[in-house]
Amino acid sequence: MSNTNKKAPARTMDLVERSLARRYGAEKRFRFYGVISVVIGVLALALLFWEIFSAGLGGFRQTHIQLTLKFDPDVLEIADARDARQVQNGNFEGVVRAALAERFPAVLDRGGRRDLNGILSIGAAFDLRDKLVDEPELLGQTRTYWLLADDDVDTYYKSLREGNAFTARTSEARQVWIQELIDGGELRTQFNTRLFTSGDSSEPEMAGILGAVVGSLLTLLVTFILSFPIGVAAAVYLEEYAPRNRFTDFIEVNISNLAAVPSIIFGLLGLAIFIGLFGMPRSIPLVGGLVLTLMTLPTIIISSRNAIKAVPPSIREAALGIGASKMQMILHHVLPLAMPGMLTGAIIGMAQALGETAPLLMIGMVAFIMDVPNGISDPATVLPVQIFLWSDSPERAFVERTSAAIMVLLAFLVCMNTLAVWLRKRLERRW
């Protein structure tokens, strides 16, 4: 071998040099394909974010109208502001109407009045009631407030500012009033706190994602509490104790297959078993969590097994060699070293579960629920289902709220993935 090389060094080098240009060319193309792929990926991501942000940022602002109102006991029909029942039944809409009539005294006909009253949300009256509950002394006094505008006004005002006024649902008379309010500085957008503090509503200006966020958190809590210990225990058994035979091979293949089963099937399973067979109520986070546990388990088992496999055998031998029992070896050495990997897998599984819609539709978490759930057995919906519901609503104002909710969901996902990375960095030990 060495002889032939020595005899014809020049010839070999010629051959090598002749092929060099071709090889470098191939390498350049190879790198170029990679760059193109990365650029396509980044562009797709940028497009997605631009689309969502441009549509959704408006959802974080809400139009408000400034009005001076008098908490007139006669209009309200409230004699004692400390009497909860009286306040509950108070005619706050009458106060709002009176204030509007005072602001626009020229509007006298019935139709015009009704149109005028419609520029404020029905939520404005509820807000006034809350204020009176907080401050009973307000009864009989006159105050100036920024009140919640109707979603049509909101949509019109925002589109007007962008120079492309959407007038389909705003009468000409209203446009005049709104212009008058704008000129007087009595109409402006404020941060949309309701989006984060209230549950779903059929009125876009009053709709919020709090109910869905709490529902999502409760569902994820159930999912995590069930799937992490079960997944880790299964992984430990399969990796450390189970004998290698046909049966365990069969189990392994099935776990891998389950990870690829479409999630809606898990929803059907949950519907048949948890609701059909066990008679659990529909639409509750407990059932949602159970279904998502089934869905997440394979992911957690597989990632936990890989994390356990990655623990060097020398550490196991070291522990066994000084007389640790198998359980001590696992608990003291294998699991701590595998923990970052297992947690990362679990968090990624949770992120997957957070974004899951289809199986939850099956078990009825798609219902219209206004109240924020108080526990895992209260009817609830989750963020992605809320997004799905809003995207289905006809009101224009729901478009930007849908995008705003998507941004919140994305923020949660980014937070969870960041947590996974941070935990891995934090817990990772070198050996």
Partner 1 sequence: MQQTLEQKPPVSPKVSAPPMAPTFSIPEPAQMPVSADYKTVGVPLVENAKFAMRDVNVFYGEKQAVFNVNLDIGENEVIAMIGPSGCGKSTFLRCLNRMNDTIDICRVTGSIQLDGEEIYASKMDVVPLRARVGMVFQKPNPFPKSIYENVAYGPKIHGLASRRVDLDEIVETSLRRAGLWEEVKDRLDAPGTGLSGGQQQRLCIARTIAVSPEVILMDEPCSALDPIATAKIEELIAELSQNYTIAIVTHSMQQAARVSHRTAYFHLGKLIEVNDTQKVFTTPDHALTEAYITGRFG
Residues within the interface to partner 1 (CB under 8 A): 1, 4-5, 12, 15, 243-244, 312, 314-325, 328, 332-333, 337, 429-431
CB 103 within 8 A of CB 145: no
Residues 231 and 304 sit within 8 Å (Cβ to Cβ):
yes
Least CB distance from residue 232 to partner 1, whole Å?
20
Q: How far is the CB of 428 from partner 1 (least distance, A)?
A: 10
Question: What does the alpha-carbon distance between residue 337 and residue 431 come to, in Å, rounded to a whole number?
Answer: 10
Nearer to partner 1, 85 or 246 (CB): 246
Say if CB 132 and CB 75 are below 8 A apart. Answer: no
Q: Nearer to partner 1 by C-beta: 251 or 280?
A: 251
| Cβ–Cβ < 8 Å for 112, 97 | no
CB closer to partner 1 out of 52 and 315? 315
Least distance CB 327 / partner 1 (angstroms) = 10
CA pair distance 186, 110, nearest whole angstrom: 24
For partner 1, the closer CB: 194 or 316: 316
Cβ-based nearer residue to partner 1, 2 or 164: 2
CB of 55 or CB of 324, closer to partner 1 = 324
Cβ 231 to partner 1 shortest distance, Å: 24
Query: Which residue bears the tokens 């990655």?
Result: 310
Cβ neighbourhood burial of 285 (10 Å; 0-12, 13-18, 19+)? buried
Instruction: Choose between 4 and 164: whose C-beta lies nearer to partner 1.
Output: 4
* CA gap 167, 99 in Å, rounded: 25
Nearer to partner 1 (CB atom), residue 16 or residue 39: 16
**Distance in Å, CB of 326 to partner 1, minimum:** 9
The nearest distance, CB 337 to partner 1, in angstroms, is 7
Q: In this complex, which beta carbon is closest to partner 1, that of residue 12 or of residue 89?
A: 12
Q: At its nearest, how many Å lie between partner 1 and the CB of residue 322? A: 4
Residue holding tokens 């709490």?
A: 214
Phi, psi at residue 189, to the nearest 5°?
-100, 145
Nearer to partner 1, 93 or 240 (CB): 240
Q: Give the pairing type, strands 142-148 and 187-191.
A: unpaired
- Report the nearest approach of partner 1 to the CB of residue 126 (Å): 59
CB of 227 to partner 1, least distance (A): 28
Q: How far apart (Å, rounded) are the C-alpha atoms in residues 25 and 28? A: 5
Closest CB 247 distance from partner 1, rounded Å? 15
Q: Which is nearer to partner 1, 119 or 319 (CB)?
A: 319
The tokens describing 367, both together, are: 């219902």
State how far Cα 208 lies from the chain centre: 12
Least CB distance to partner 1 at residue 2 (A): 9
